[in-house]
Structure 1
Amino acid sequence: MKKIVLATVAVTCLAGSAYAADMAVKAPPLAAPVATNPWDVAFGAGIYSDYNFRGISQSNRGPSVNAYFEPRYNVNDSLQLYVGAGGWSIDFSNKASAEIDIYGGIRPTFGKLALDFGVWYYYYPGGQCYNAAVPGDCAYNGNILPNAPLGGNVIKKDLSFLEYFAKATYTFNDNIAVGGAFYYDDNWLNFGFDAKYLSGNVKLTAPSNWLPTGYGLYVSGEVGHYWLGTTDAFYGSIRLPDYTTWNVGLGMTYKVFTVDLRYYDTDLSEASCNAITSDFNASFSPTNITAINTNGLGSKWCGQAYVISLKADLTYGSSLK
């Protein structure tokens, strides 16, 4: 009897082992990890009632369009490398009608803190030169502008310049973000001096349950200060004034689209604005005669401005897949 029981137990154990072995063989293999493509591309376009750059109109208070294309490489979840190219339609006093932007940089993030370090080149093709005060001066700065600004305004053919920047944004939560930025221009608008621009900004985003699905609402503002310098001899070796600029606006988003209404202003007088811009629409007033603006012309390119824009911003990785 004892032998029969032992034999039964042995057969049962062998059968169980065989069944377990059979189950191991038939078990499905572990799923391979999903490969993530580190490359992405951001691109977009917009139309603006005025291209206002740091408080100064770049489009003669008229409409402007822009577009950009930005390939990105995500080294990991906290580090991104990028390059980009873009363009704006402009209306400068030297008859340049386009701004071409070429840029690149690195974006590290540390939790709620996002940083951005890079370099930006502003290229303004198609410009022409004018300086009636110094015969032959344009021979060193480009061809003579046929329909030049009147009243003594002067302008170079080439206003292109290189800029280095550092930005930081801290996102407290889904509704509050604050930031700051510093820009260094090695030869601002080819005036012959380096310039520095420092700004701070805040953005308040409405809670998602305030609006229908897909919509967003925000209020944002910025205050910045530009430190300028003394021009080269072409512009009379004058000290251009430092200035402060600010803007505040309300925006609504829907998926990849944004509509933004924004108010811009500066503390520049019309005379100082003319000295900086050589505005071809400048008008004369005795009150505009100053040590750096002896022709008495005044420009409205730096004053109060309301700008409405419609933009679309997409990324291949999230917007199109």
Structure 2
Amino acid sequence: MKNMLLAASAIFAITALAGSASATDFAGGTISYNVGVTSDYVFRGVSQSSTESNLPAIQGGVDYSHGLFYVGAWASNVKWDYSKGTKDLEVDVYGGVKPTYKDFNFDFGLYTYNYGTKELDFSEVKAAVSHPLFKGTIGAAFYDNVTWAESGYYEVNGSYPLTDKLSLSGAVGESALLGSKYSTANLGVTYAISPALSLDVRASDTNVPEAKVYSPYNRPYKPRVAVTLKASF
């Protein structure tokens, strides 16, 4: 009940913020913000906000861009069956460049994922590219884990507008953790309620049997459906 009340309060705040705030200019660049609430925080096919049953997560971030360069930070509550110093909070800090060449958009960056314990904190180098395809886009992304050996993630992704406000998007990828690999996929639709507010419904799954758990998170693999309300301003 406490989690549901917190999520309801977050939805009210997000809706209010979406209608009253906008990106701001700062030091020659632009500062933008995002805040959201999701029924299940799914990362690469695995829930980060629940163990057996879905729990909502409240998320938010701030980004600064200046020409090709960007830096930012993002946070979410998490819920793991893991007791070695975690604070039920994930804080990501990142930065990089986004050059373009003809119709190709690139993204090269460094991402750090922080959970309150050195045993779980890690960093990744990101390389991504996207390209227009008909009315939509197609792209690929590769994340090389520079903290743990034989770890990382890559995916092929795409999006396509169905109407002026409704779009379809998805991705298929493979994740590796210390040499142990699994495949994952997601597919969802996003509805633009307003220029600043969107609602996303997304299904995800992996090729790992449900009975198996994902170390070190100690949570079962199984199909997920997440509903996310997000405001960007």
Superposed displacement of residue 38, structure 1: 4.1
Alignment of 1:223-262 (within 5 A): 223-229=172-178, 241-253=180-192, 254-262=194-202
Distance 1:72 1:123 in 2: 22
Return the match for 1:63 from 52, 56, 81.
56
Q: Secondary structure at the match of 1:203?
A: strand
Deviations 1:209-245 (A, max 9, x none): xxxxxxx110111000113335xxxxxxxxxx31000
Identical-pair percentage? 29
Aligned-partner residue type, residue 182 of structure 1: F
Query: 1:207–1:275: structure 2 CA closer, same or farther, 3 Å change rule?
Result: closer
Deviations 1:25-56 (A, max 9, x none): xxxxxxxxxxxx84111211110000000000
Alignment of 1:110-189 (within 5 A): 110-125=101-116, 158-172=119-133, 175-188=135-148
Aligned-partner residue type, residue 133 of structure 2: F
Return the match for 2:212 from 264, 268, 272.
272
Return the match for 2:75 from 81, 87, 90.
87
RMSD over aligned CA atoms reads 1.8
Distance 1:182 1:275 in 2: 22
Query: 1:184–1:274: structure 2 CA closer, same or farther, 3 Å change rule?
Result: closer
Does 1:39 find its partner at 2:29? yes
**Of Structure 1 and Structure 2, which has the larger fraction of its residues in helix?**
1
**Of Structure 1 and Structure 2, which has the larger fraction of its residues in strand?**
2
1:219 corresponding residue in structure 2: 168
**Conserved in 2, the CA contact under 8 Å of 1:247 and 1:262?**
yes
Aligned-partner residue type, residue 122 of structure 1: Y
Q: TM-score, normalised by structure 1?
A: 0.59
Say how many residue pairs are matched: 200
Aligned-partner residue type, residue 157 of structure 2: N
Larger RCO, structures 1/2 (Cα 8 Å, 6+ apart): 2
Query: 1:244–1:58: structure 2 CA closer, same or farther, 3 Å change rule?
Result: same
Query: 1:243–1:261: structure 2 CA closer, same or farther, 3 Å change rule?
Result: same
Superposed displacement of residue 273, structure 1: 2.3
Unpaired runs of 5+ residues, structure 2, are: 1-26
Query: 1:200–1:274: structure 2 CA closer, same or farther, 3 Å change rule?
Result: closer
Aligned-partner residue type, residue 97 of structure 2: I
Q: Secondary structure at the match of 1:116?
A: strand
2:151 corresponding residue in structure 1: 195
2:227 corresponding residue in structure 1: 308
**Conserved in 2, the CA contact under 8 Å of 1:183 and 1:198?**
yes
Superposed displacement of residue 272, structure 1: 3.5
Aligned-partner residue type, residue 186 of structure 1: V
Aligned-partner residue type, residue 264 of structure 1: S
**Conserved in 2, the CA contact under 8 Å of 1:220 and 1:249?**
yes
**Conserved in 2, the CA contact under 8 Å of 1:124 and 1:158?**
no
Does 1:206 find its partner at 2:162? yes
Distance 1:220 1:263 in 2: 11
**Conserved in 2, the CA contact under 8 Å of 1:245 and 1:265?**
yes
Distance 1:71 1:275 in 2: 34
1:237 corresponding residue in structure 2: none
Query: 1:94–1:228: structure 2 CA closer, same or farther, 3 Å change rule?
Result: closer
**Conserved in 2, the CA contact under 8 Å of 1:187 and 1:194?**
no
Distance 2:142 2:102 in 1: 21
Superposed displacement of residue 264, structure 1: 0.6
Superposed displacement of residue 71, structure 1: 0.8
1:105 corresponding residue in structure 2: 96
